[in-house]
Structure 1
Amino acid sequence: MFRPALNCDLGEGTNNEAHIMPWINSCSIACGGHAGNLKSMERAIMLAKENNIFAGAHPSYPDRENFGRVPMKMADHEFIFSIRGQLEDFNLMLEKHQVPLHHIKPHGALYNQIAIDLQASYRFLEAIENYKSICFLYVPFGSIIAEVAIKQGFSIKYEAFGDRCYMDDLSLMPRNRPGAVIQDKQQVYDQIFNIYTKGRVITNTGNKVELRADTFCIHSDTADAFMILKFLQEQFQKSEFG
């Protein structure tokens, strides 16, 4: 059976969590950096528990104005204090509802920066070191953060994006460029199928580049995210691959 694991970033103000939860395997919940607060964290955690979905933390640069999608210059101690604070708030809600922390997935500009920046990777791993033995870290395949995290003893899962166009260096095409966000359901399915079964992605230039993934993200703010996820699961059920 062709059944890739799907994940979604939630608690970001889209208010579609209840529709999305039945169609995913794990969720990454905003911790108050780029979006979210204790109330939205708690709501998403409760929905995850009701739907038997793995719950993960989605920390970011503390930048609500830019939704965490713009790199920030921060002193190391300020950055570490912010990330740890976000995770502490999230864990309060997890403990309240007796839900284990499944993974940590950095958001937006932070996710992209630690994929290519060695010092930024070290700083982020220092910030989350207390969680090393209890959860996974979602990271891009072939990234610096993946390499460093493995060396430091973190358990990782490679993540790829079904609804985003890749460039030849495996970075994501900037959102302001045409075609950066994939909204066609069949195209999303085809991209996931190629990565999952062939270990490669077709980039914006048409090249086939090696890419492996343990879990695939569909963004909750992608147009018709719920319908895309529903379509994917229906196609997975029909498929004879795997």
Structure 2
Amino acid sequence: MTADKARSDKATVEPARARIDLNADLGEGVGDDETMLTIVTSANIACGFHAGTPADLLATCRAAVAAGVRIGAQVSYPDRAGFGRRFMEMSTPDLIADLVYQIGALDALARSVGGSVTYVKPHGALYNTVVHHEQQADAVVAAVRDVNPGLAMMGLPNSEILARAERAGLRVITEAFADRAYTPTGTLVPRTERGAVLSDSAEIARRVVEMTTTGRLTAIDGTVVAVDADSICLHGDTQGAVGHARAVREALAQAGVEIGLTRS
């Protein structure tokens, strides 16, 4: 059996989900956070290292608490100039220290307005790096565990980061992306490649319903790949983001899928 055939067979037997969490990257100062908080159930709030000022992050935490939206710390490389989208070689102690700092700062801001950080999601280049990079994946897991072993880790299914998080005793939240193209191996097509970011709201909504109800989607080359997601990311910083998010939520409702947290 070929690898593509095996992936296709697996995709046909993934269980359908009757409930799905919707998350968005917020607090970055580049999107309509107020409206997105009426659509999503989880907020990945920036921690200041790739975007966001303390005042912005505090306001975003306050708005998330008011909306009843779960707060996650969106940690990143120290790369404000590149919006956290450039890979950085970092030693384990340095990366752990940076991440502990970010999680702790955001949690303090959240607690000051009656909330708390309940999960961690890497941002940008760090997110993509820890899919395969063992040393940095270990550092992220260590930082989360050191801050609070009750925190969950959000990431791509079958990634190094989630495998290591589970082995360390952390809860994991598997994630898929509404507006990003996938490779045949189930990873995201790099943003530098043509077709990596989808822009048609109807197509985005159709894909999310497909991956949620069937456990599969079509990769950029036409391959059918399995997708096991607890949460769907709706990027808040892309053009037309609010329209995409509304279309996704409406399409899921029409398909009979409940919107909400699938894991505590």
Alignment of 1:92-107 (within 5 A): 92-107=108-123
SS of equivalent to 2:130: helix
Output aligned runs, 1:71-90, within 5 Å. Answer: 71-90=87-106
CA distance in 2, matches of 1:81, 1:13: 25
Matched, 1:125 2:141: yes
The percentage of counterpart residues that share the same residue type is 29
Structure 1 residue 131: deviation in Å?
A: 4.1
**In 2, Cα distance between the equivalents of 1:157 and 1:58?**
14
Does the CA contact (< 8 Å) of 1:55 and 1:102 recur in 2? Answer: yes
Residue 154 (str. 1) matches residue 170 (str. 2): yes
Paired residue for 2:128?
112
Correspondence 1:17 to 2:33: yes
Structure 2 CA distance for aligned equivalents of residues 143 and 76 of structure 1: 19
| Equivalences for residues 45-84 of structure 1 within 5 A | 45-84=61-100
Q: How many residues align?
A: 242
State the distance in 2 between where 1:226 and 1:5 align: 17
Corresponding position of 2:10: none
Structure 2 CA distance, aligned partners of 1:54 and 1:241? 19
Mapped to 1, the partners of 2:18 and 2:201 lie a distance apart of 17
How far the C-alpha of 1:176 sits from its partner, in A, is 2.4
Deviation at 1:2, TM superposition (A): 5.3
1:48 positional shift: 0.4
Corresponding residue SS for 1:158: strand
Could you list the runs of 5+ residues in structure 1 that have no partner in the other structure? none
- The alignment partner of 2:221 has SS state of coil
Which segment drifts farther, 55-64 or 187-196? 187-196
Report 1 or 2 for greater relative contact order, CA contacts < 8 Å, sequence distance ≥ 6. 2
Distance 2:257 2:143 in 1: 40
Q: CA deviation at 1:15?
A: 4.2
Secondary structure of 1:7's match?
Answer: strand
Q: Can you list the C-alpha shifts for 1:51-95, whole angstroms capped at 9, x where unaligned?
A: 111111001000111111111012222211111111121111012
- Tell me the TM-score normalised to structure 1 length: 0.95
Coordinate RMSD, CA, aligned: 1.6
For normalisation by structure 2, the TM-score amounts to 0.87
Q: Secondary structure at the match of 1:5?
A: strand
**Partner-residue secondary structure (3-state), 1:84:** helix
Q: 1:130 offset after TM fit, Å?
A: 2.7
Does 1:180 pair with 2:188? Answer: no
8 Å Cα contact 1:55/1:100 also seen in 2: yes
In the alignment, the residues of structure 2 paired with residue 210 and residue 196 of structure 1 have an alpha-carbon distance, to the nearest angstrom, of 11
SS of the aligned residue for 1:181 comes to coil
Residues of 1 paired with 2:241 and 2:92: CA distance?
A: 36
